[in-house]
Amino acid sequence: HRIAEVIKGFERVDIPVGALDIGPHRDDLPYLGVQPVIRPNDIPTSITDKNVVLVDDVLFTGRSTRAAMDALIDFGRPQRILLAVLIDRGHRELPIKANFVGKNIPSSRYERIQLRLRETDGVDEVVIVSPAKAAVV
């Protein structure tokens, strides 16, 4: 929601913000042997013939983005889908590239990136977690 508020400040227009449950569209479910917990989708307006910006916290393999696009198409046919990510850590497994990137943070495939936001965590920070240690960026 913070990004929509910033855009509103510049453009003086309200941006509809929604949420997608990508769980049912993940391609790793057969390998994990679990069923996803189904959460409600919140798409407040028609997306048909609209420019839609998918926003994700961390872009890694691209598989979550692919699942998000599949979930989005269930709601209509956007004119264009753009991708904005706060962190791009590389290691793509699918040919997906963000249109807007907050910060590129190279990392090992074995490290995890934790993004903490002041709205939910009280602080804006990125933490790189390796099996042995954690580093705040």
CATH number at residue 7: 3.40.50.2020
Judge whether 117 lies within some domain: no
The model's pTM: 0.87
Judge whether 98 lies within some domain: yes
Residues 29 and 71: their CA atoms lie apart, in Å, by 15
Residues 14 and 90: their CA atoms lie apart, in Å, by 32
Element (H, E) at 53: strand 51-59
pLDDT at site 36: 72
Judge whether 90 lies within some domain: yes
Residue ranges, the chain, pLDDT below 50: none
Judge whether 37 lies within some domain: yes
Judge whether 113 lies within some domain: no
C-beta of residue 110 within 8 angstroms of C-beta of residue 130: yes
Residues 118 and 120: their CA atoms lie apart, in Å, by 5
Residues 6 or more apart in contact with residue 2 via CB below 8 angstroms? 117, 119
Total domains, the chain:
1
pLDDT at site 98: 99
Residue 83 sits in which domain range?
2-107
pLDDT digits (tens, 9 = 90+) for 47-61: 999 999 999 999 999
Judge whether 123 lies within some domain: no
Judge whether 134 lies within some domain: no
pLDDT at site 134: 56
Judge whether 38 lies within some domain: yes
